[in-house]
Structure 1
C-alpha cells in the first residue's frame, strides 16, 4: 500500500493555473434548436442533459451533455445503449448515430 501525501498549496496553485484557462476555452452549452422539419433524423431534449435521437420515428440513440462534451450512445434503449463517441460538436454527435438508410435520402 502506498500512501501519498496531500499536494502542497503551491503545487495546487500551479495545477489550477494550467487548468483554468483550458476550461474557459470550452464552449458554453445551451439547448440545441430542434431539427429542421424536413429532416429524416430528429432529436428531442428528454431530460435536462439528454437528447433522444430518432430516425423515421424510431429511436436510434441518445446524446448526453456532460459539461462541454456530447457523449453519444447508440441503441433504442438508454439502459442498453453503447457509447460510440465523445465530441464537442453536436452535428458530429448526431451524424455518428445516423442510420445508413437516413443518409441515403
Structure 2
C-alpha cells in the first residue's frame, strides 16, 4: 500500500504564487447582451452565472460562467446536460451547443 504524504506548506505557497498571476490575466466577465431579435439561436441569462440556449424555441443547452471561462453544456435539462466545451469566447460556447449552417442563420 502506498500512502501519499501531504505537500508541505512551502510547496503549496509556491504553487499558489505561480497560479495567481495567471488568473489575474484572464478577462473579467460582464453579462452577455441578448441575442438579436431575428436570430435562430437565442440565449437568456437565467441565473447570475448561467445562460439557457435555445434553437428555434427549444432548449438545446446551457452555458455556465466559471470565472473567466464559459462552460458549454449540451442537453435540454440542466441536470442531465453534458459538458462539451470550455472556452474564453461566448460565441464559441453558443456555437458548440447549437451549430447552425450559414443557410439557416440567414
Identify whether the pair has TM-score above 0.5, normalized to the shorter chain: yes
The residue that corresponds to 1:91 in the other structure is 91
CA RMSD of the aligned region, Å?
1.7
Provide the aligned length of Structure 1 versus Structure 2: 103
Deviation per CA, 1:18-37, whole angstroms, max 9, x where unpaired? 11210111111111011111
Q: TM-score, normalised by structure 1?
A: 0.86
1:1-105 to structure 2, matched below 5 A, reads 1-9=2-10, 11-100=11-100, 103-105=102-104
Gaps of 5+ in 1: none
Q: TM-score, normalised by structure 2?
A: 0.85
Corresponding residue SS for 1:91: helix
